[in-house]
C-alpha cells in the first residue's frame, strides 16, 4: 500500500529570533530549502562571531535536497550558505543580485564549485514535484522575491522580506497581481515576514528618505560621510544619486561596503554615473565639498569603519569640523548604546551628525500591520505560519491573521524544529526534528556550548584566581608555593594583603585536611577552592573563578 | 586687596552620560551640592555593579560644603549618597518623599547620623550666602522640585527632572508662576534637563497612562502582574487605583518595590485604600481575579522578580495562562534585548503581555522640545548649561536655546570636571577639577580600573589557558607537567588533540630556548606564551589569555 503523500514545512531558523532564516519544505522525499541565513550574536554570547542554525536535519537528509531558493541577498538569508554547503552540494536559485552576492560569498569560502542559477522575478522553475514561482517583492535590497511553491498537495507561499512601496527606488514593486491571482486559485499555506508586526499602519516609502538625503547633501559644506548597511542597496543608490547631483565623487569604505557597491554596480543594480566612484586615496586629495564617503558602521560595530573614524583610529579617514555624517539606519535592538557612543564621539570631533531619531534618514524595509493584512487578504491562505520574528511578534502576527479571517486553529505559531505537516486530510504538528543554534567562534563551528559560555560569563564578571603549588605527597609537604596569579579580579599592585591571605588560607586548609587524613590532591584542591572562594566573597563580595593547581612532584 | 567674588558651576556627573547626576555650586568658599546620583553599568563594564562620580574635588573641599540639595528621590539623583557621605557629614535637604527615600538608604548604609531636613516645595532656605527656593516640579515621582540658588552674583536655576503635566496624577504641577517670576527678576544661569530633547512636541500627561491601565484591568481575567520602576510612584498609584476599582488586592514583589511602596504609602504620597495592600503569601491564597502584583523587573534585569517569573525560578510566583502582565516602562537603551526576552518567555508561559510599544502603558517623565523651550522662555537666563544627557543631547538642547534667543556664546556644552565661572564681568571656563567615573564591584569602590576591565573583556571573549610545570633549574629539566588547564576556551573533552599540541610546543620551546642559553624562568614563560598563542590562533582563530606558570623546585 503506498504511503499517503505528505507536505511538510520545517522552520530551522528565523522563528523566535531575528536572523538565520532557514526553512525546509519537504514533499515526500523531496526537500527544498528556502534561504540559509546567519544571525549576529547577542551580547551574552561571549566571544561568538556568528550564529547559524543546527543543520543536522538537512545533513541527515542531504540526498533528498533538490536545491536552495534564495529570497534576497541579505546576510540573514544567505550568510549560512558557506557553512551549510560544506556538507553537500546542491544548486542555488535566486535573482541576479542575490546570486551575485552568493557567488562572492562562496568563492571566498572556496566553494566555487557550487552551481548557481539566476532566476528573473516572474519566472517559474520546476524542481522535482515542485513548480516554483519567483514573485517580485519590494525590500531594502533589489532583487527581493516572494516564492510560491506548487506541490501536488497545494501551494505554499513564502512572502520573503517585503513591504508595499508604491514609489520604490529600485523600480521594483511588490507584485500584488501575482499574489492576488495565486490567492484566487487557492493557497494552502502562507509564511509571512513578522519583523514589523508591532508597527501600526503602513511603512513609508524608501523615496521619502531620498528627499531627506537630498536636503542633507544640499546643506552640507564639508565632506558627506554616509553610513548605512552595505546591503541596503536602495539606500546606497539614493546617496549616490544625491552625491552626483551635488557634484561629489563617491568612495566606499569598509570591506562589505566596497564589495556590495562593486557587485551591485557591476550587475546593474546600482546606477553610478561615470567617473563618480573613486578610491578613498583619490577622495583624500579632493576639496572636501566634492567628496562623499559611503561607509559601514551604522550599527556602532567596534571594528567597522565609522566606529574607527569616530574613535580617531581609522587608517585613512579622520573626522574634521565641517564634515556631515549621515546615519541612515536604525539601531538594531542591542546596538543602541554603541550607536549613541559613535554619535557622541562624532559630535565631539566637530562633525554635524544627522541621525535617525531626528531626521527621517531611514525607513524600514519591512511591512507594517496594514501591509501584512494586505498580504494575508491577497493570498487568502487556508493555513498561516508567521515567520521571521521573535515569539511575541509571531503571536501578534497570528492575531492580525485572525482579524483578517483566518481561523485560529489554522494558524501555527511554530518554533524551530517543528514540523507542520499537510496531508489531504488536513494539517498537524508532526514529530519535531533536531534544531537549534550553532555558535561560530573563530574557526570553531559548534564547539562552543553552554558550559564554555558559562565559563566565559563567569570570567567576565569577576575574573579568575589561580593557586599553584608543588606538593610532595610522600612527605605531605609543600615544596614550592603557594603562588597566586589573578586576571580580571583585582588590581594586583594594590591587593597584596588579600593575595597573602589566600596563600595563608591555602596552607592552613592543606595542613588541616592532612591532619584529618585527607591526602588526595583532588580533594585538597577542592577544599582549598571552597575555603578561598568563601574568604574572597566575604572580603570583596566578588566571586572570581578559583582554580587551585597542585602539582605532585 | 580682596579677591574678586566668584560663582562656579561644576558638573561632576550627568553630562555626556545619563545617570549619576551630581553638581557642585561654589560661591567663593561655600559649596552646595545638587543631587548625588549613581549610574548603572554599560554592558562593556564587566562585573561592575554601579557607577558613581569621582568625588575627589568634593573630598578635597569637604570643609567648604554647606549641604546637599536633592531635587527628587530617584537613584540617579540620590544613589551616590552612601558613597559620598562616608567622606564627610553634611546635611541633606529635600522634599518629604525624597528625604524618606534618602533616610532609608542612609540607614541601610549605617549612615543614620547624617542630618536631613524636609523642605516643602515653595519654601526658601538660607545656607551661607545662598538663599535657595524649592520650586514645585512635575515628574514621575512626587516631591520633585527645581531649585533657584540666589547668590550675591546672581541666581542659578536648576530645573531638576521635569515635564509639563497639566493633569498630573500626584496633583503636583510645575510651578510656572515661580519660574516666570524668577525669569522676570533676572536669572544668571539655567541648568536644564536634556533627557528628552530629541523628542519633538510635548510629553503626554501621566493621566493618559492611567486610562490605558484602567482598560487593561477591566479586561483582565486572571491575575494582573504590573511591572514598572519601583521609583515611578505616580505609576504605582495608578495601578493601585485601578486594582481597587476592580476589586483586586495588591501585593508588592521585589526588594525595591516593597521598600518604595511602604515608604511612599507611609509618607502619604501613595494613596492606598484600606486593606488593599497584602502580602504575597496572602495573594497566593486569593482567587486570581482578585489579585494584582506590583513587581520590579520592567527592564529585564536578570535578578529582578519579573525576570525570575518569566524564567520559572521565582520563589513564590509562577506565571499561568490567563495572567495579564503589564510592562509599564520603556526599555532604557541597552536593555531592549533583555526586555524582549522576558516578553517572549511570558508569552510562552501563556500570559497576555501588554507592553509599551503596542499599548500606551508608558509616558516619559521628562520634558520634550516644546516644554524645554517653555522652560528657557520662562526663565530667560543670561547663560545656559544643558545638563542630564549624553553629549549629542546637550548639543541639541543648546540648539533649542539658540532658537529661543540665548546667544550661542552664552551657552556652555560642558563636560564633567569643567568649571563654569561667573564674576561681575562675565562667564568663562576656568581650570578643570578632577572628575570621572568610579566603578563599584562588590565591596570594592574604585579598585577596578581599565587594566582589570581589559582583562575581563579578554577573558569573556576567548577564555584562558594555563600551562603549569615544575622545573628544576639546576638540571634544566621538567620535573612534572606540563599540565594544561583551560576555562572558557574550548570544550575540553573534545579538545585533547589541541591540548596535547600545547604540551608539545611547551616542551619544544623550553628545550630550544635552553639550547640557546636561555634559562631564566620569566624568559622561558614569555617564549612559551608567545609560541602557544601563535599556534592557538593559527589553529582556532581565537586568542585565549595564555598563562604559563613554571614553578622552580
B344 with B378, same domain: the answer is: no
Cα–Cα dist A148/A135, whole Å: 8
Q: How far apart are CA A212 and CA B104, in angstroms?
A: 52
The residue among A323, A355, A387 that closes a domain is A355
Name the residue of chain A whose CA is nearest to B492's CA.
A452
- In this structure, are B400 and B476 located in the same domain? no
Q: What is the pLDDT of residue B303?
A: 87
Quick check: is B225 in a domain? yes
Instruction: Name which of A205, A155, A197 is nearest A179 in CA terms.
Output: A155
Mean pLDDT of B474-490: 89
Q: Does B343 touch chain A (CB under 8 A)?
A: yes
Residue A76 domain-assigned?
yes
- How far away is chain B from the Cα of A191, in angstroms, using its nearest Cα? 20
Residues B221 and B340 in one domain: yes
Higher-pLDDT residue of A480 and B382 is B382
Tell me the shortest Cα–Cα distance from B294 to chain A, in angstroms.
Answer: 22
- The answer to the question of residue B452 being in a domain is no
> What pairing do the DSSP bridges indicate for beta strands A437-441 and A50-53?
antiparallel
Which grid cell sits at A252?
Answer: 566606499
- Total number of domains constituting chain A: 3
pLDDT digits (tens, 9 = 90+) for B399-440: 999 999 999 999 999 999 999 999 999 999 999 999 999 999
Q: Say if residue B388 is in the same domain as residue B426.
A: yes
**Nearest CA of chain A to the CA of B258: how many Å?**
24
Cβ B391–A357 below 8 Å, yes or no? Answer: no
Partners of A68 in beta bridges:
A33, A92
SS3 A553: coil
pLDDT tens for B55-101 read 999 999 999 999 999 999 999 999 999 999 999 999 999 999 999 99
ipTM attached to this prediction: 0.87
At residue A474, the pLDDT reads: 82
Q: Please report whether residue B456 resides in a domain.
A: no
Q: Please, are residues A366 and A196 in contact by the beta-carbon 8 Å criterion? A: yes
Q: Is A453 inside any structural domain?
A: no
Residue with cell 509564511: A191
Of A459, A541, A552, nearest to B459 by CB-CB distance is A459
How buried is residue B131: exposed, middle or buried, by Cβ count under 10 Å (0-12/13-18/19+)?
Answer: middle
Residues B251 and B188 in one domain: no
The answer to whether B459 contacts A461, with C-beta atoms less than 8 Å apart, is no
- pTM of the entire predicted model: 0.90
CB B306 within 8 A of CB B293: no
Chain A: closest CA distance from residue B360 (Å): 13
Contact A115, A68 (CB under 8 A): no
> Grid coordinates standing for B128?
551661607
In angstroms, the first-to-last Cα distance of chain A is: 72
Dist. CA B547–CA B346, nearest whole Å: 44
In a domain, A455, yes or no: no
pLDDT category at B2 given cuts 50, 70, 90 is: low
C-alpha cell at A39: 544571525
Would you call B512 an interface residue with chain A, using a CB distance cutoff of 8 Å? no
SS3 state at A121: coil
DSSP labels, A227-250: E--TT-HHHHHHHHHHHHHTT-EE
Mapped onto helix, strand or coil, the DSSP state of residue A187 is strand
Q: What is the pLDDT of residue A2?
A: 53
Residues 6+ apart with CB under 8 A from B198: A357, A358, B393, B396
Closest CA–CA distance from residue A362 to any residue of chain B (Å): 16
B366 pLDDT above the threshold of 50: yes
| Cell, residue A499 | 593575595
- Whether B22 maps to a domain, the answer reads yes
- Please give the residue range of the domain that contains residue B472: 463-552
**Phi (first) and psi of residue A478, to 5 degrees:** -85, 120
Search chain B and give the residue with CA nearest A391.
B344
Catalytic residue among A35, A54, A165, A193: A193
**Do A123 and A293 meet the contact criterion of CB atoms below 8 Å apart?**
no
CA atoms lying within 13 Å on the CB side of residue A305: 26
Residues in A closer than 8 angstroms to B334, CB to CB, are 336-337
Whether B131 contacts chain A with CB within 8 A: no
* Rounded average pLDDT over B120-131: 97
Q: How confident is the model at residue B1 (pLDDT cuts 50, 70, 90)?
A: very low
> Given the DSSP bridges, would you call strands A7-13 and A419-423 parallel, antiparallel or unpaired?
antiparallel
Mutation choice for A interface testing from B470, B479, B533 by most A CBs within 10 A: B470
CATH of the domain at B502: 3.10.20.580
Chosen for mutation from B50, B392, B395 (greatest number of chain A CBs closer than 10 Å) is B392
Residue A390: list chain B partners with CB under 8 A.
340, 344
Closest CA to A154 of A403, A380, A2, A3: A380
In this structure, are A73 and A168 located in the same domain? yes
Q: Report the residue from A358, A444, A470 with minimal CB separation from B540.
A: A444
| Residue A472, beta-bridge partner list | A477
- What cell numbers appear for B330 in the block? 520603556
Q: How far from B486 is each of A118, A143, A374, B465, B490, CA to CA, in Å?
A: 48, 47, 55, 4, 7
Active-site amino acid positions of B: 193, 366
Measured between beta carbons, the chain A residues lying within 8 angstroms of B494 are 447
Same domain, A159 and A238: no
Q: Where are the beta strands (DSSP E) in A152-275?
A: 154-158, 187-193, 224-227, 249-253
Q: Is A455 on the interface with B (CB under 8 A)?
A: yes
Residue of A nearest to B478 (CA): A553
Which pLDDT value is given to residue A48?
Answer: 93
- Give the one of B47, B461, B494 whose C-beta lies nearest to A47's C-beta: B461
Q: Which residue of B has its CA nearest to A393?
A: B344
Please list the alpha-helical segments (H only) found in A10-123: 56-60, 75-78, 81-84, 96-108
Q: Is residue B450 part of a domain?
A: no
Whether residues B178 and B218 share a domain: the answer is: no
Shared domain check, A108 and A244: no
Grouping H, G, I as helix, E, B as strand and the rest as coil, residue A216 is helix
CATH assignment of the domain containing B131: 3.60.15.10
Window 345-364 of B, Cβ < 8 Å to A: 347-348, 353, 355, 357-358
The dihedral formed by the CA atoms of B534, B539, B544 and B547, expressed in degrees to the nearest 10? -50
| Pairing verdict, β A145-151 and A154-158 | antiparallel
For residues B38 and B182, state if they share a domain: yes
Q: Given an 8 Å threshold on Cβ–Cβ distance, is A441 in contact with B43?
A: no
Count of CB contacts below 8 A, A vs B?
202
pLDDT tens for each residue of B261-306? 999 999 999 999 989 999 999 999 999 999 999 999 999 988 899 9
Shortest CA gap B470–chain A (Å): 7
Task: Please check whether residue B53 is in contact with residue B20, taking contact to mean a CB–CB distance below 8 angstroms.
Answer: yes
Chain A residue numbers touching B452 (CB-CB < 8 A):
463, 488-491
The percentage of chain B sitting over the pLDDT mark of 90, rounded to a whole number, equals 83
CATH number of the domain where residue B279 is located: 3.40.50.10710
Strands (E), B116-184: 116-118, 124-127, 130-136, 145-151, 154-158
Task: Specify whether A263 is located in the same domain as A280.
Answer: yes
Q: pLDDT tens digits for chain A (553 residues)?
A: 457 899 999 999 999 877 899 999 999 999 999 999 999 888 889 999 999 999 999 999 999 999 999 999 999 999 999 999 999 999 999 999 999 999 999 999 999 899 999 999 999 999 999 999 999 999 999 999 999 999 999 999 999 999 999 998 888 899 999 999 999 999 999 999 999 999 999 999 999 999 999 999 999 999 999 999 998 999 999 999 999 999 999 999 999 999 999 999 999 999 999 899 999 999 999 999 999 999 999 999 888 999 999 999 899 999 999 999 999 998 887 788 889 999 999 999 999 999 976 678 999 999 999 999 999 999 999 999 999 999 999 999 999 999 999 999 999 999 999 999 999 999 999 999 999 999 999 988 988 888 999 999 999 999 999 999 988 878 888 888 899 999 999 887 778 899 999 999 999 999 999 999 888 889 999 999 999 999 999 999 999 999 999 988 7
- Say whether A365 counts as a known binding-site residue: yes
Q: Report the distance separating Cα A351 and Cα A320, nearest Å.
A: 6
Say whether residue A396 is in contact with chain B using an 8 A CB cutoff: yes
H/E segment holding residue B315 = none
CA dihedral A192, A197, A201, A207 (to 10 degrees): -70
DSSP B345-380: HHHHTT-EEE-HHHH-----SS--HHHHHHHHHHH-
- Neighbouring CB atoms inside 10 A of B523's CB total 11
Burial A480-497 (b: 16+ CB within 10 A, else e): bbbbbbbbbbbbeeebee
B389 Cβ contact list (under 8 Å, min separation 6): B14, B15, B18, B193, B194, B195, B197, B397
Q: Do B258 and B299 belong together in one domain? A: yes
Q: Do strands A291-295 and A249-253 pair parallel, antiparallel, or not at all (unpaired)?
A: parallel
Q: Check CB contact under 8 Å for A490 and B447.
A: yes
- Phi first, then psi: give them for residue B393, nearest 5 degrees: -70, -40
Placement of cell 542559477 in the chain? A117
B302-341 residues touching A, CB cutoff 8 A:
333-334, 336-337, 340
Grid coordinates given for A380: 487568502
Of the candidates A476, A538, A460, A470, the residue with the CA atom closest to the CA atom of residue A502: A538
Asked if residue A212 has a cis previous peptide bond (ω within 30° of 0), the answer is no
Q: Which residue has the higher pLDDT, B90 or B447?
A: B90
Amino acid at each position: 500500500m503506498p504511503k499517503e503523500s505528505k507536505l511538510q514545512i520545517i522552520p530551522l531558523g528565523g522563528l523566535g529570533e531575528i536572523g538565520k532564516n532557514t526553512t525546509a519544505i519537504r514533499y515526500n522525499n523531496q526537500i527544498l530549502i528556502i534561504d540559509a541565513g546567519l544571525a549576529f550574536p547577542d551580547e551574552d554570547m561571549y566571544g561568538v562571531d556568528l550564529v547559524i542554525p543546527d543543520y543536522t536535519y538537512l545533513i541527515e537528509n542531504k540526498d533528498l535536497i533538490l536545491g536552495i531558493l534564495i529570497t534576497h541577498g541579505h546576510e540573514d538569508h544567505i550568510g549560512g550558505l558557506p557553512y551549510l554547503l560544506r556538507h553537500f552540494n546542491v544548486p542555488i536559485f535566486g535573482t541576479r543580485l542575490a546570486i551575485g552576492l552568493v557567488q562572492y560569498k562562496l568563492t571566498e569560502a572556496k566553494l566555487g564549485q557550487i552551481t548557481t542559477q539566476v532566476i528573473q522575478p516572474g519566472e517559474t522553475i520546476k524542481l522535482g514535484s515542485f513548480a516554483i514561482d519567483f514573485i517580485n517583492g519590494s525590500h531594502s535590497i533589489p532583487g527581493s522575491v516572494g516564492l510560491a511553491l506548487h506541490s501536488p498537495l497545494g501551494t505554499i507561499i513564502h512572502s520573503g522580506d517585503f513591504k508595499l512601496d508604491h514609489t520604490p527606488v529600485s523600480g521594483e514593486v511588490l507584485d500584488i497581481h501575482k499574489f492576488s491571482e495565486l490567492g484566487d486559485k487557492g493557497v494552502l499555506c502562507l509564511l509571512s515576514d513578522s519583523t514589523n508586526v508591532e508597527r501600526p499602519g503602513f511603512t513609508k516609502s524608501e523615496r521619502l528618505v531620498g528627499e531627506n538625503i537630498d536636503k542633507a547633501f544640499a546643506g552640507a559644506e564639508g565632506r558627506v560621510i554616509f553610513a548605512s548597511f552595505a546591503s541596503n542597496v536602495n539606500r546606497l543608490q539614493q546617496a549616490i544619486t544625491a552625491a552626483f547631483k551635488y557634484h561629489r565623487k563617491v568612495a566606499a569604505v569598509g570591506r562589505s561596503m566596497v564589495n556590495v557597491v562593486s557587485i551591485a554596480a557591476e550587475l546593474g543594480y546600482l546606477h553610478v554615473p561615470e567617473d563618480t566612484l573613486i578610491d578613498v586615496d583619490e577622495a583624500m586629495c579632493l576639496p572636501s565639498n566634492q567628496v562623499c564617503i559611503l561607509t559601514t558602521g551604522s550599527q556602532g560595530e567596534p571594528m567597522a569603519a565609522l566606529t574607527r573614524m569616530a574613535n580617531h583610529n581609522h587608517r585613512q579617514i579622520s573626522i574634521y569640523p565641517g564634515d556631515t555624517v549621515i546615519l541612515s539606519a536604525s539601531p538594531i535592538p542591542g546596538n543602541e548604546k554603541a550607536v549613541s557612543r559613535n554619535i557622541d564621539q562624532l559630535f565631539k570631533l566637530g562633525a554635524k551628525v544627522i541621525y535617525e531619531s531626528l531626521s527621517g534618514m531611514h525607513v524600514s524595509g519591512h511591512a507594517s500591520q496594514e501591509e501584512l493584512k494586505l498580504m494575508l487578504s491577497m493570498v487568502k491562505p487556508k493555513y498561516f505560519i508567521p515567520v521571521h520574528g521573535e515569539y511575541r511578534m509571531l503571536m501578534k502576527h497570528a492575531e492580525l491573521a485572525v482579524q483578517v479571517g483566518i481561523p485560529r486553529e489554522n494558524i501555527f505559531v511554530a518554533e524551530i524544529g517543528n514540523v507542520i505537516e499537510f496531508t489531504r486530510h488536513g494539517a498537524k504538528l508532526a514529530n519535531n526534528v533536531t534544531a537549534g543554534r550553532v555558535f561560530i567562534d573563530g574557526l570553531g563551528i559548534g564547539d562552543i556550548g553552554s558550559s564554555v559560555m558559562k565559563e566565559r560569563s563567569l570570567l567576565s564578571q569577576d575574573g579568575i584566581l589561580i593557586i599553584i603549588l608543588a606538593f610532595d605527597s610522600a612527605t605531605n609537604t609543600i615544596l614550592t608555593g603557594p603562588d597566586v596569579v589573578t586576571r580580571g579580579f583585582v588590581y594586583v599592585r594594590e591587593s597584596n594583603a588579600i593575595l597573602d591571605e589566600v596563600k595563608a588560607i591555602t596552607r592552613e586548609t592543606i595542613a588541616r585536611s592532612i591532619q584529618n587524613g585527607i591526602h588526595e590532591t583532588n580533594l585538597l584542591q577542592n577544599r582549598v577552592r571552597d575555603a578561598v572562594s568563601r574568604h574572597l566573597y566575604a572580603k570583596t563580595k566578588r566571586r572570581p573563578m578559583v582554580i587551585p593547581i597542585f602539582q605532585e612532584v
